[in-house]
């Protein structure tokens, strides 16, 4: 690993100032399961590593009557085993527990999963379906970013220099949802395609991962589902709304086929009343 | 780049140690503390050979930076036996011949230890799932699961069959 300075600030302000001071060389360290692997492979060469885990206020899950808020440094096992998340958003809990191994999830965070902005980030599709909101701290103060506006491209988010995600907020929504992850192995493998299908009070919500440069919502397909269109029409619309590529894990053709299969099965499951996949 | 002092508890002993930040906890344990039980298999979180217990949770030591150890409690395979008596898991691995080359064993045992600390009486399925972050190239896993199962069974008897 190339040399760098390590910082463990205890406030967001301090962390943000360090980020600004080091510019492109400053990298936030959360669970490190993406960043440390990239540093080891020489893909990211930080001049400063700014560890967020010393900032107390980021380490908790909070909830009130309307919403649940996951702090930036909360790990994926904590998300997956949280009582309210398990009850209100079982598909989010399931997505969290589908990442890596137990050891990886004891370090990896949900916010790191989002900020890493991989097209296959497993916790992204449930949060997209839930219209989650990211709470952000930056040099110019605080702001909120709806998750739809957060992912810009592969590994690129709409965060500005010096900005840090404090946490992600989801509104408690009545409804049934299904998370499906298709991978080559049952454990410790990345998604070839992942999907969240949610039947909320105000209609259907559908999102996919690993079929475009960012995780995506499929608004046209959602509209067809809301109109009660025929299954064939719904499925071909879904395929028209994604742009998968060939890569080491799967071909474009296979992914397109799986987009249909996963949606069809998801619809069947929700019809049967199964809230969890 | 400046050296940092990290203070943490390693196998029950308080340590204060100087290290450069650009290395992993795994490297620091192996090179500075001569604790070579935890192994580097993949160095990227995939194999579990480097598993240690940090604040009660199994983690891949290859994905933790040395300075992140500050203020933590670290347990490694070296701390399991008291020098005379083996931990029940260590004994069970011997009794069940749950190893061949042994490369995966320290990580496997630490993962199993974290699992049993959390749930002393896991089912067969829970054990299989619990060790799914640890790869073994030799044994085919069967005997490893059996070994852990045998300790779970002892615990079950101890807990009055709950
Ligand atoms: C063996 C293995 C298996 C894996 N399997 C999966 C899988 O199945 N599915 C999956 O989706 N991923 C998987 N991953 C990838 C990774 O574990 C996840 O993406 C994880 O959630 C990242 O979180 P982290 O806290 O470790 O992020 P880090 O590595 O700490 O950070 C990731 C990126 O986000 C930035 N960042 C972190 N926190 C913030 C913040 N608060 N504000 C702004 N930027 C921030 C960092 O600077 C960095 O660029 C796997 C990784 C490994 C090593
Ligand atoms: S060496 Fe750490 S998981 Fe393989
Ligand atoms: S005993 Fe050889 S890798 Fe497991």
B51 Cβ under 8 Å from any chain A Cβ: yes
Contact across the interface for A102 and B1, Cβ inside 8 Å: no
Contact across the interface for B45 and A100, Cβ inside 8 Å: yes
pLDDT band at B74 (very low <50, low <70, confident <90, very high): very high
Residue with tokens 């004994």: B91
Which of these three, B51, B79, B107, is where a domain ends? B79
Provide the 10 A C-beta neighbour count for residue A178: 26
By Cβ distance, the residue of A8, A103, A187 closest to B60 is A103
Do B102 and B152 reside in the same domain of the chain?
A: yes
Which of these three, B14, B44, B79, is where a domain ends? B79
Provide the residue-wise pLDDT of chain A in tens; the chain has 277 residues.
999 999 999 999 999 999 999 999 999 999 999 999 999 999 999 999 999 999 999 999 999 999 999 999 999 999 999 999 999 999 999 999 999 999 999 999 999 999 999 999 999 999 999 999 999 999 999 999 999 999 999 999 999 999 999 999 999 988 999 999 988 887 888 989 999 999 999 999 999 999 999 999 999 999 999 999 999 999 999 999 999 888 888 899 999 999 999 999 999 999 887 554 3
Look up the ipTM and state it: 0.95
Contact across the interface for A103 and B48, Cβ inside 8 Å: yes
Distance CA B65, CA B63 (A): 7
Which of B42, B47, B48, B101 should be mutated for ligand 3, with most atoms under 8 A from CB? B101
Name the domain count of chain B.
2
Burial class (CB in 10 A: 0-12, 13-18, 19+), A15: buried
What token pair was written down for B54?
Answer: 């940090």
The answer to whether B150 and B92 have CB atoms below 8 angstroms apart is yes
> Can you name the residues that pair with A209 across neighbouring β-strands?
A194
Atom index in ligand 3 nearest the CA of residue B144 equals 4
Cα distances (Å, whole numbers) of residue A91 to A134, A180, A199, A211, A270: 19, 8, 12, 19, 12
Which of these three, B79, B101, B130, is where a domain ends? B79
Distance CA A32, CA A104 (A): 10
Residue B45 has pLDDT above 90, yes or no: yes
Do B21 and B55 reside in the same domain of the chain?
A: yes
A6 Cβ under 8 Å from any chain B Cβ: yes
Please tell me the pTM assigned to this model: 0.96
pLDDT band at B158 (very low <50, low <70, confident <90, very high): confident
- Nearest 5°: phi and psi at A214? -135, 165
| Maximum separation of any 2 CA atoms in chain B, in Å | 56
Long-range contacts, B142-147 (Cβ 8 Å, 24+): B143/B96, B143/B97, B143/B98, B144/B93, B144/B96, B144/B98, B144/B99, B144/B108, B146/B96, B146/B98, B147/B89, B147/B92, B147/B93, B147/B95, B147/B96, B147/B98
- Nearest 5°: phi and psi at A262? -65, -40
Closest CA to B56 of B29, B77, B82, B74: B74
Do B70 and B103 reside in the same domain of the chain?
A: no
Atom index in ligand 2 nearest the CA of residue B135 equals 4
The answer to whether A122 and A195 have CB atoms below 8 angstroms apart is no
Domain that holds residue B93: 88-159
Match domain A56-171 to its CATH number in 3.30.2270.10, 3.40.190.10, 3.90.1150.150, 3.30.465.10.
3.30.465.10
Average pLDDT over residues B59-78: 98
Residue B160 has pLDDT above 80, yes or no: no
The answer to whether A34 and A190 have CB atoms below 8 angstroms apart is no
Angle between the N-to-C axes of helices A252-271 and A231-240, in degrees from 0 to 180, rounded to the nearest 10: 140
Do B9 and B75 reside in the same domain of the chain?
A: yes
pLDDT given at position A274: 57
Look up the CATH number of the domain holding residue B108. 1.10.150.120
> Can you name the residues that pair with A198 across neighbouring β-strands?
A177, A205
Distance CA A173, CA A132 (A): 11
Instruction: Dump pLDDT digits (tens) for B80-110.
Output: 998 899 999 999 999 999 999 999 999 999 9
Distance CA B145, CA A241 (A): 45
Q: Can you say whether residue B102 is alpha, beta or left, with left for phi > 0 and alpha for psi between -120 and 50 degrees? A: left
Residue B21 has pLDDT above 90, yes or no: yes
pLDDT given at position A249: 87
Q: Considering the domain A175-271 in this protein, what is its CATH number?
A: 3.30.390.50
pLDDT given at position A276: 45
Q: Where are the domains of chain A?
A: 5-54, 56-171, 175-271
Q: Is the CB of B104 under 6 A from ligand 3?
A: yes
For Cα atoms A30, A31, A32, give the angle at the middle one, nearest 5 degrees. Answer: 90
Distance CA A26, CA A37 (A): 16
Do B32 and B64 reside in the same domain of the chain?
A: yes
The answer to whether B108 and B47 have CB atoms below 8 angstroms apart is no
CA A204 to chain centre: 19
Look up the CATH number of the domain holding residue B12. 3.10.20.30
Mean pLDDT in chain B?
Answer: 95
CATH 3.40.640.10 fits A5-54, yes or no: no
């Amino acid at each position: 690993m190339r040399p760098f300075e390590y910082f463990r600030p205890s406030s967001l302000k301090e962390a943000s100032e360090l980020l600004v001071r080091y510019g492109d060389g400053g990298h936030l360290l959360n669970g490190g399961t993406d960043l440390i692997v990239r540093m080891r492979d020489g893909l990211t060469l930080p001049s400063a590593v700014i560890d967020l885990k010393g900032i107390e206020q980021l380490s908790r899950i909070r909830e009130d009557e309307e919403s649940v808020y996951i702090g930036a440094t909360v790990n994926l096992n904590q998300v997956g085993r949280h009582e309210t998340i398990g009850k209100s958003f079982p598909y989010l809990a399931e997505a969290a527990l589908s990442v890596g191994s137990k050891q990886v999830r004891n370090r990896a965070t949900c916010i790191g999963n989002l900020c890493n902005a991989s097209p296959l980030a497993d916790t992204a599709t449930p949060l997209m379906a839930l219209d989650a909101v990211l709470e952000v701290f930056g040099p110019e103060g605080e702001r909120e970013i709806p998750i739809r506006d957060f992912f810009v491209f592969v590994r690129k988010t709409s965060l500005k220099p010096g900005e840090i995600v404090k946490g992600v907020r989801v509104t408690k929504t009545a409804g049934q949802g299904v998370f499906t992850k298709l991978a080559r192995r049952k454990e410790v493998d990345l998604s070839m395609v992942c999907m969240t299908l949610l039947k909320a009070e105000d209609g259907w919500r559908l999102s996919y991962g690993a079929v475009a440069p960012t995780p995506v919502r499929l608004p046209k397909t959602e509209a067809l589902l809301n109109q009660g269109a025929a299954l064939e029409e719904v499925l071909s619309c879904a395929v028209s709304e994604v742009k998968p590529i060939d890569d080491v894990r799967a071909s474009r053709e296979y992914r397109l086929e799986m987009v249909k299969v996963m949606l069809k099965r998801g619809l069947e499951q929700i019809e049967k009343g199964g809230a969890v996949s | 780049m400046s050296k940092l002092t990290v203070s943490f508890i390693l196998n029950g002993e308080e340590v204060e140690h100087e290290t450069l930040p650009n290395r992993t906890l795994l490297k620091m344990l192996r090179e500075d503390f001569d604790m070579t039980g935890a192994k580097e298999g993949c160095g990227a979180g995939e194999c579990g050979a480097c598993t240690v217990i940090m604040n009660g949770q199994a983690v891949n030591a290859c994905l933790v930076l040395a300075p992140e150890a500050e203020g933590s409690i670290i347990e490694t395979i070296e701390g399991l036996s008291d020098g005379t008596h083996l931990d029940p898991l260590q004994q069970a691995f011997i009794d069940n011949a749950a190893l061949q080359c042994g490369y995966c064993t320290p990580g496997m045992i630490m993962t199993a230890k974290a699992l049993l600390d959390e749930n002393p009486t896991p089912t067969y399925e829970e054990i299989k799932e619990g060790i799914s972050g640890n790869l073994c190239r030799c044994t085919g896993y069967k005997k490893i699961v059996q070994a852990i199962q045998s300790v779970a069974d002892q615990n079950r008897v101890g807990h009055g069959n709950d």
